[in-house]
Chains A and B, each alone.
Chain A
Amino acid sequence: MKYFMLLFTALWLVACSGNNGESAENKSFMEAQQPKKTYGKIQHVDIGEGIDGTMSKAGKEIFDMKCNACHKYDERYVGPALGKVTQRRTPEYVMNMILDTETMIENDDTVKCLMQEFLMKMPNQSVDEKDARNVLEHLRDHAKSAQ
């Protein structure tokens, strides 16, 4: 019930510029729109040139257990498709979605608009920082191999 109310408060506060999933290729907030400000507790993430295979593999384990019930790679499901999320969002944004979900949902306009489309609040899945970084690596890996 708590979530329900929060949802509607948020809905009234943001005006969004269109609605769609990753599959829709029109110009919308889904595309390459970087948030002006980085909300959440992760203010900077170091990422390497290439992909760390070990980290990516560990990240997939966590993704399957804690994310996959809502997110697929290429299709819209309960939440947006995440196969190419690292191409349209910053590493900090992805990390904060995982680690500081509540702050993102309350403050980040992109997430508020996604909520309007997906009609639910993404839950905090209690992932620790190391695992979250591995999930990010896995999503980067996926985006790269999908290219």
Chain B
Amino acid sequence: MSTQTLLRLMVLAVSALIMSCSGNNEAGGGALSGDAASRVYVAPGEKDEFYNFVSGGFSGQLAVYGLPSGRLFRVIPVFSVDPEKGWGYTEETKPMLMTSHGFVPWDDAHHPDMSQTGGVADGKWVFINGNNTPRIARIDLTDFRTKEIIEIPNAAGNHSSPFSTENSEYVVAGTRFSVPIPQEDVSIQQYSEKFKGALSFVKVDPKSGNMNLDFQLLVPGFDYDLARAGKGPSKDWMFMSCYNSEQANTMKEINASQNDKDFIVAINWKKCAELAAAGKGSMMNVDYAHNVYNDETHSASHTMKKQVRVLTADDIKGALFYMPTPKSPHGCDVDPSGELIVGGGKLATVIPVMSFSKMLKAIEGGKVDKMIAGIPVLNYKECLAGEVQRPGLGPLHTEFDGKGFAYTSFFVSSEIVKWSLKDFKVVDRVPTYYSIGHLCIPGGNSTKPWGKYVIAYNKITKDRYLPTGPELTQSAQLFDISGDKMKLLLDFPTIGEPHYAVACPADMIMKNSKKMYQITENKHPYATHKEADTRVERKGNEVHVYMTSIRSHFAPDNIEGVKVGDKVYWHVTNLEQDWDVPHGFAVIGANNSEALIMPGETCTIVWEPKKAGVYPFYCSDFCSALHQEMQGYVRVSNGGSGQLTWNKR
């Protein structure tokens, strides 16, 4: 069957599916009994069983939901500015969004992955990739804030990222777009000769979580798509899928779908890391940003780094192989035992399951079909554990329940298919509404899945919700997988595009959740630790207001002596030391956002008044019965001495 016919067939299948379902709500929900409702009902005041961290896709953020209720608790700003939280607007957070291209206020965030200890999710950090301007962010799960963002040089479209190794020694970053390395002004026709792929290994400090770009592998210019680290016996290896082995540079939907098989790259990262540490390869001049948020100063710093170690196939002989895999693979998922590697070929008619032990034998026995740019291509059959026959159309991604079953999402036929890891036979299938992308089982990518639910992250919602104009909500669906048959329990709407997600038991994270920041430990250079120290200082045309907030007043709250043309820095310290008492700070005409200041924290908003007058500022987060009284005035003059006065405490 030609690709053309296959594609046409798939389109037909999708439309048939959508049509047949849109008129028949029974299949999607109407037939559900009250039983399903009680399974997802979390009574008022009670708490959910799991946290679900869902990427916001093109929103650039990370959303936090509870399961099984599907309730949204928080949107953590990561790669996109968020005026509600001052993210990217306060002086403290602006450096987080700096890159080699300057300040970048948006990205496309795809794959959250949780830090692991011994192959099990440990609830410390979530890593997530920024696709468009290649970056990896680390989110701290004690206060649900982004603490670090590292840019990935030589990459373009950081898609195959940031999957973590068994003890989060490394997170990986494979490039979706190959580009000239180093960048240069060449003809796009020179793709196959000039364009290369960079696969980056970012080392994670086990204590602080700090990330450091350790080394990059320079590989042929394919499109690197998804990855998963090995575990148990395969723990030293990283597996990464890639397509466009044709190296097409135009109309990829056709031209990158010619070959019968593309590849899963098998990388012995442990060996590569040792070779890199021993000085193999060479240092290359690059420019990339490394931004770190400091918990003590409540402020971020931005540094540009200049070099990266690059290794080529010649430098790492015996540590890099290609395993053929049927057709334009997406998922590349390792089962809880670490022995099976499941490919998800978007255009494949089977699900290939590769065997780690057979792969090692094939390497040992030299079962190599050919070499590509110095990289051995192993024989498909020699590495194959088995194939799941007639699974569905467009297999994408697989997770595991820890009870011997795998669950694969099928985009084209819009379903989840459950199959046995013993005999690779399909045992159950359920439709999703509609066109599922990734799926998630709590811990389903680890050695210890909590196999109670599978969640589908869908690409299309069509008729499932009240319409909201041309742009509809995106959504997820929760299925019970505790029995033999998967059972739909709940649809819930999501922000942005719910691209992928991780989930873990709530108590793992709840017990470490911070309630506030200690004011005694606040080392912000402009912090005001007591009301007696509040003041206003002039440095040329800069005015620094050292302000405090506590229920329900600002100190100072009357300021005079500011001049048109001054740049006013409002450094507001929240003196509260109790849970759930943030204060806001907003001043008329500010060209940025509010500041939302947590107890014990200091935030800075810059304000440049343009006309003389007396202007109010106020607390924007309802904090007490006297919240409406929490306000003040600043007087702005044309000229004058600029001598500052304020009401002293």
A contact set with B: CB distance below 8 Å: 1-4, 7, 64-66, 68-70, 78, 119-121, 123-127
Contact = CB atoms under 8 A, between A and B. Distances in A.
B550 A69 contact: yes
B578 interface: yes
A119 B626 contact: yes
B626 A123 contact: no
Given A4-B625, A68-B530, A126-B578, 11 more contacts: A2-B580, A3-B624, A65-B530, A68-B532, A69-B555, A70-B551, A78-B551, A119-B625, A120-B551, A125-B578, A126-B577
B552 A120 contact: yes
Q: Across chains A and B, which 7 residue pairs bring their CB atoms closest together, nearest first?
A: A126-B577, A123-B578, A125-B577, A69-B531, A69-B550, A64-B530, A65-B530
Contacts of A123: 550-551, 576-578, 581
B529 interface: yes
B531 to A, nearest CB: 4
B578 A65 contact: no
Interface in B572-626: 575-578, 580-581, 622, 624-626
B548 to A, nearest CB: 6
A147 B272 CA distance: 77
Interface residues of chain B: helix, strand, loop or mixed (majority): loop
Contacts of B550: 69-70, 78, 123
B520 interface: yes
A68 B576 contact: no
Given A124-B578, A125-B578, A65 B625 contact: no
A117 to B, nearest CB: 13
A115 to B, nearest CB: 10
Interface residues of B, number: 25
28 contacts: A4-B624, A7-B625, A64-B530, A64-B531, A64-B532, A65-B520, A65-B529, A65-B575, A66-B519, A68-B532, A69-B530, A69-B553, A69-B555, A69-B575, A78-B550, A78-B551, A120-B551, A120-B552, A120-B626, A123-B550, A123-B551, A123-B576, A123-B578, A125-B577, A126-B516, A126-B518, A126-B577, A126-B578
Given A66-B575, A119-B626, A120-B625, A78 B581 contact: no
Interface of B: 516, 518-520, 529-532, 548, 550-553, 555, 575-578, 580-581, 622, 624-626, 649
B518 A68 contact: no
B535 to A, nearest CB: 15
A120 B649 CA distance: 21
Interface residues of chain A: helix, strand, loop or mixed (majority): loop
Contacts of A120: 551-552, 624-626
A6 B531 CA distance: 27
A53 B604 CA distance: 38
Contact of B519 (A65, A70, A119): A65
Nearest to A61: B530
Contacts of B626: 119-120
A96 to B, nearest CB: 16
Nearest to A115: B625
Contacts of A3: 624-625
A113 B433 CA distance: 57
A4 B532 CA distance: 28
B552 to A, nearest CB: 7
A124 B550 CA distance: 12
A120 B622 CA distance: 13
A121 B624 CA distance: 8
Most B CB within 10 A of own CB, among A69, A124, A125: A69
Contacts of B577: 66, 123-127
A54 B530 CA distance: 21
Nearest to B575: A69
Nearest to A66: B577
Contacts of A4: 624-625
Most A CB within 10 A of own CB, among B548, B553, B624: B624
A113 B252 CA distance: 74
A78 B553 contact: yes
B625 A68 contact: no
A1 B625 CA distance: 8
Nearest to A124: B578
A126 B576 CA distance: 9
A121 B579 CA distance: 13
Nearest to B550: A69
Contacts of B576: 123, 125
Nearest to B549: A69
B130 to A, nearest CB: 35
A47 B359 CA distance: 76
A68 B575 CA distance: 10
A66 B578 CA distance: 11
B255 to A, nearest CB: 58
Contact of B552 (A64, A78, A125): A78
Nearest to B518: A126
A7 B552 CA distance: 15
Nearest to B515: A126
Nearest to A8: B625
A2 B532 CA distance: 30
Contacts of B551: 70, 78, 120, 123
Nearest to B627: A4
Contacts of B518: 126
Contacts of A65: 519-520, 529-530, 575
B533 to A, nearest CB: 9
